[in-house]
Amino acid sequence: MGNRMHGTLTAVAARIFAPVLLAAAGISTFAEAKERPFDDEAMMEIHRGGLAYERDGDIYAALSMYGQACDMGLAAACTLGGQIEHETASDNKDHIRAARMFATACRAGDDLACTRTGMALGPLSRGDSPEPDGLMKLALLAMGEECRHDSAQACVDAAQLLGTTEEIGADIAAVRGYAERVCEEQEFAGCISAAMLPAEELDAAETRARNVLLCNAGWAGGCDALLEPLMTGEAPGEVDELKQALKGACDDWVGIACANLGLYYTQGPKDAYFPGIGFRYMRSACDLYVAKACFAYGVMHKKGIGGRVDETRAQSLVAHACEIGSPKACATLARIAGETERGEVAGVSTTEALRRACRLGDKPSCVEDI
């Protein structure tokens, strides 16, 4: 009875507090589409236009193209667009736009974008910014602060809060926890609202149900939470249920769910090692533009994991993975290009591959002469 009542209170609180207080804080909400609503060829053409404009130094034209591709569902475009928004920001609205773009990519499984969500939120918590005047904004800024101090979970929590919808609802326990930590140091108007939220956290069943909901919505945090016990073997009695949840999300075009199944069947427990199945799931993830899945799929082709060795296909996949946002793929592409007579591969020069890798957070690729 207590758990059911808590679940009801949490759901009601999420519906009441999240949309209202996010609006009060000036943070928009938006829904995640479960169906594949875009034209793949058009989306990639737009994204490539953004890459070309950025390469040529026309950052505002690049931002326009990245914004369009981001809206169509390409995480890499959200990350690169968010980077430009952040670097050219002149006010709080610009930083929020950058944070929202990073958060979109983070929820799709881009780890770099998760850390940059906190970075983009940074200016909002400085002394010359308006004081937080709502519970959700108070919690969001606290998440950003902890994210910038190397809390990976805070980065994910911030990205999820920025994507809150009425259907999904905010993680009320997380919101309360972050707000309370801030309120211990300084009193804000939102502290009163924080004290009114349910104090109990979700039980195991409620947490699992929420993770399934998040994963089905395309949020990597939910899919990763479903994968973790599969990889560690900590839930032997729930293996089939967890796999089915990921499979259901993968079937609904959630690329990160497909990628996680690919990992499970190739890098999970010994009794789950079925590289042929993993190969097919990794291909599905790559087809859904999960950059790290495309890179992994390329490695599988190079090493013959789950299929025959195909060096040409491997190289093509590495180039594609770089194009859609894998820093490791870009760094690898730079090395491959550097070993050729022309100094390029798949139409990408060593210099351009290094520049992309650097923009995507690969520090060793950030050499001065690019």
| Domain boundaries, position 334 | 207-216+236-365
pLDDT the model gives residue 133: 52
My answer on whether 176 and 211 are in the same domain is no
61-77 as b/e, with b when 16 or more CB fall inside 10 Å?
Answer: ebbbbbbbbbbbbbbbb
| DSSP codes, 224-286 | HHHHHHHHHT--GGGHHHHHHHHHHHHHTT-HHHHHHHHHHHHHS-GGG--HHHHHHHHHHHH
Alpha carbons within 13 A on the beta-carbon side of 46: 22
Distance between start and end Cα atoms, the chain: 63
pLDDT for 245: 96
- Across 73-77, 175-179, 263-267, 274-278, least confident range: 175-179
The answer on 182 and 51 residing in a single domain is: yes
Q: Is residue 146 in some structural domain?
A: yes
Helices (H), the chain: 2-24, 40-55, 59-72, 75-87, 92-107, 111-121, 135-148, 152-162, 172-185, 190-196, 204-216, 220-232, 239-251, 255-267, 275-287, 291-303, 311-323, 327-338, 350-359
52 shares its domain with 185: yes
Tokens describing residue 135? 């519970």
Q: Identify the pLDDT of residue 164.
A: 84
Indicate if 279 and 162 belong to the same structural domain: no
* Angle CA 209–212–213, to nearest 5: 85
Chain mean pLDDT for the chain = 84
Residues 74 and 183 in one domain: yes
Residue 341 lies in a domain: yes
pLDDT of residue 116 exceeding 90 = yes
pLDDT of 343 above 70: yes
pLDDT tens digit sequence for 175-234:
888 888 878 777 766 676 766 776 667 788 888 999 999 999 999 999 999 999 999 988
Cα four-point dihedral sign 173, 19, 26, 80: positive
Cα–Cα dist 10/334, whole Å: 49
pLDDT given at position 32? 41
Task: Give the per-residue pLDDT at 369.
Answer: 54
The two structure tokens encoding residue 302: 């190079």
Q: Tell me: the pLDDT tens digits for 172-186?
A: 888 888 888 878 777
Instruction: Let me know if residue 250 belongs to a domain.
Output: yes
Number of domains making up the chain: 2
Give domain status of residue 226, yes or no: no
The amino acid that residue 131 corresponds to is E
- Give the H/E segment covering residue 344: strand 344-345
Q: Do 271 and 181 lie in a common domain?
A: no
pTM to 2 decimal places? 0.82
Residue 162 lies in a domain: yes
Q: What is the mean pLDDT of residues 11-23?
A: 37
Residue 268 located in a structural domain: yes
CA atoms within 13 A on the CB side of 1: 0
Q: Are 137 and 212 in a shared domain?
A: no
CB 163 within 8 A of CB 219: yes
Size (the chain), residues? 370
pLDDT 10s digits, 64-105: 999 999 999 999 999 999 999 999 999 888 989 999 999 999
What is d(CA 23, CA 20) in angstroms, rounded to the nearest whole number? 5
Same structural domain for residues 35 and 114? yes
Alpha-carbon distance of 316 to 328, in angstroms, equals 14
* Whether residue 124 sits in one domain with residue 50: yes
Amino acid at 143: M
CATH number of residue 300's parent domain: 1.25.40.10
Does the residue 175 lie in any domain?
A: yes
Are 165 and 302 part of one and the same domain?
A: no
State whether 28 and 151 are in the same domain.
yes
Q: Does a structural domain hold residue 229?
A: no
24 lies in the same domain as 172: yes
Q: Count other C-beta atoms under 10 Å from residue 323's C-beta.
A: 23
Question: pLDDT tens for residues 123-132?
Answer: 875 444 444 4
